[in-house]
């Protein structure tokens, strides 16, 4: 079953975050991930529980692939760049 890695990101340092994005994309792809949305225009329809800032949606073939990506030493090595440049909420969602 496909698994989606969903992130909401509030950028504090957009220039530094660009460095993270450049390094993250090839890693996502190496683990079978595909970006479906990455910071595009967003129209908020309801916000009782949450008001997102900048959304990222990545589809992986399955939960194992998504977990292997996120827990990989390569991704863990670049994660500090993201944490220095943005505040995030990340979660995985199984779907079709």
pTM of the model: 0.93
CATH number of 3-41+53-94: 3.30.70.100
Is residue 17 within 8 Å of residue 85, measured between CB atoms?
yes
Instruction: Give yes or no for residue 96 having a pLDDT over 90.
Output: no
Model confidence pLDDT, tens digit, residues 36-82: 999 999 999 999 999 999 999 999 999 999 999 999 999 999 999 99
- Asked if the model's pLDDT at residue 5 lies above 90, the reply is yes
Domain boundaries, the chain: 3-41+53-94
């Amino acid at each position: 079953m496909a698994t989606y890695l969903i992130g909401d990101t509030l950028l504090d340092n957009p220039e530094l975050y660009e460095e993270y994005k450049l390094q993250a994309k090839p890693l996502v792809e190496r683990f079978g991930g595909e970006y479906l949305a990455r910071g595009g225009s967003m129209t908020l329809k309801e916000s009782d529980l949450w008001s997102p800032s900048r959304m990222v949606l990545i589809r992986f073939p399955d939960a194992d692939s998504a977990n292997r990506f996120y827990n990989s030493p390569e991704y863990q090595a670049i994660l500090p760049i993201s944490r220095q440049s943005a505040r995030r909420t990340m979660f995985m969602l199984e779907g079709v």
